[in-house]
Amino acid sequence: MTKDEYAIFLDKFCNDMIDISKRKNADYTGINADPFANFSSVEQRTICTTEQGFLTRMNDKFERIISFANKGELLVKDESVQDTLHDLANYCALMSGYLESKKHKENAFCKPCGYLKTQCKCKIEA
């Protein structure tokens, strides 16, 4: 594969990744407006943190990729190694978006009083 061919491949890979992400997000989160709902549910159920939830799913994909690299094939044929790589890339994008969203959420609240900064009562952080 040349650099030009890779650029075309990368374009297709990213477009496929976006298509898959939109379809899966619609399937997993339903009418919920939160794109991370499927990942944060483990934290609401006190199973583990949302971050650990992401990492667990990423690790499952990683194990599958390692298995493919070692054996040259996958025994469960309904998900190709390309599908697995797309899923792993999507988990990276979702976790990146989640961390960004969490940072914004944390910055929105006044730490001393716990109110939204726009409704802060203590003015300590103001």
Nearer to Zn ion, 45 or 123 (CB): 123
Piece in contact with Zn ion (CB under 5 A), picked from 4-12, 43-51, 52-60, 111-119: 111-119
Sign for the CA dihedral angle at 20, 25, 31, 35 comes to negative
Nearer to Zn ion, 22 or 111 (CB): 111
Q: Which residues contact 38 (CB under 8 A, 6 or more apart)?
A: 28, 29
Selected binder of Zn ion within 37, 85, 89, 113 (CB under 5 A): 113
Nearer to Zn ion, 97 or 112 (CB): 112
Piece in contact with Zn ion (CB under 5 A), picked from 7-15, 33-41, 90-98, 115-123: 115-123
Interatomic CA distance for residues 3 and 114, integer angstroms: 52
Site for Zn ion in 71-110 (CB under 5 A): 110
76 within 8 A of 68, measured Cβ to Cβ: no
Piece in contact with Zn ion (CB under 5 A), picked from 10-18, 48-56, 57-65, 113-121: 113-121
- The residues of the shown chain that bind Zn ion, judged by CB under 5 A, are 110, 112-113, 120, 122
